[in-house]
Amino acid sequence: MNTEKTRVLIIGSGPAGYTAGIYASRANLRPIIYEGNQPGGQLTQTTEIENFPGYPQGIQGPAMMDEFRAQAVKFGAEIKSKTIAKVDFSKHPFECEDEDGDKIIADAVIICTGASAKYLGLSDEDKYRGLGVSACATCDGFFYRKKNVAVVGGGDTACEEALYLSTLAKKVYMIVRKDYLRASDVMRRRVAEKDNIEILFNCNTEGLFGEDGVEGARIVRHRGTPEEEHFDIAIDGFFLAIGHHPNSEIFRGQLDMDAEGYIKVAGATTHTSVEGVFAAGDVADPRYRQAVCAAGTGCRAALDAEKFLMEHNEL
């Protein structure tokens, strides 16, 4: 078991973690970034990013994250391709432990652990995980060329996934529980223009079926009303796009969180309920959840950490 000391430990990558890394390393704080098990975060599972300023032609998510990472490394951030498994914020300096049991003692900690895809909670989702059930069209869409698939959800993510899949699959159903898409205008329009996307409004999924993998989904329309009807759709792939939950489990009981597990920060700062621990990006943002916002809060967290270290004579 090794023990290492750092002034700033950044837990998690993605736009928040890497931006915190860029700022903290430029301030000569020599941060250590634990990238976690999905280096680059959620953007590495997306396709084209069209709304990050500075990329008028758009850029692929993984390519953008590679550039963020390279910029952090250029200024001296040390990157570890590991996950932090345990933290102890009850004493200062903070004691954290990685997945191999190695200890890292940090004067300040910046949490950028992001969020992960939600599932419906059906037992069939577990049964067919990797056998037709996925929460990432870009990762798994390739397996469904010329097949029928369904995407659950009516937000921007669901539209994005459905549009991507529509270029590969024969047909894409969107299973939407309301009678409208919550997605932005532009996404709704793009979906409407696709002949091979069919939206099943007012519908919920009751289960999946199939021998060795998904062969279909059981759908209920107008659940709990007099018009309730049940029907099956034949599909080979079932994609979840119903939002995300914050990756904050290891901090539970140590930091104040809201009912959904988003880490609470004080006002426009990144200060958590423990002095010297800061949170940035989606793990602390139930509202905006945009890459550019995550990058902005990553910057703030690094500045907040620098100020904290200065005030505590740790610089």
Q: What does each C-alpha distance from 80 to 35, 76, 208 come to in angstroms? A: 6, 13, 39
Say whether 136 is catalytic: yes
Catalytic choice (88, 100, 126, 139): 139
Is residue 286 close enough to count as binding ligand NDP by CB under 6 A?
Answer: no
The rounded distance, in Å, linking the Cα atoms of 81 and 115 is 18
| CB-nearer residue toward ligand NDP: 133 or 158 | 158
Residue whose beta carbon is closest to ligand NDP: 155
217-246 binders of ligand NDP (CB under 6 A) = 242-243
| CB-nearer residue toward ligand NDP: 152 or 169 | 152
| CB-nearer residue toward ligand NDP: 98 or 285 | 285
Is residue 153 close enough to count as binding ligand NDP by CB under 6 A?
Answer: yes
| Among 6-14, 175-183, 231-239, 245-253, the segment contacting ligand NDP (CB under 6 A) | 175-183
Q: What does each C-alpha distance from 68 to 16, 23, 61, 73 come to in angstroms? A: 10, 11, 11, 9
| Among 5-13, 67-75, 151-159, 190-198, the segment contacting ligand NDP (CB under 6 A) | 151-159
| Among 58-66, 154-162, 259-267, 303-311, the segment contacting ligand NDP (CB under 6 A) | 154-162
Q: Taken in order 281, 282, 284, 290, is the CA torsion positive or negative?
A: positive
Report the phi/psi class of residue 50: left, alpha or beta, with left for phi > 0 and alpha for psi in -120 to 50: alpha
The rounded distance, in Å, linking the Cα atoms of 41 and 134 is 17
Query: Which of 134, 138, 144, 7 is CA-nearest to residue 76?
Result: 7
Query: Which of 154, 165, 137, 169 is CA-nearest to residue 199?
Result: 154
Is residue 178 close enough to count as binding ligand NDP by CB under 6 A?
Answer: yes
| Residues with a known catalytic role | 136, 139-140
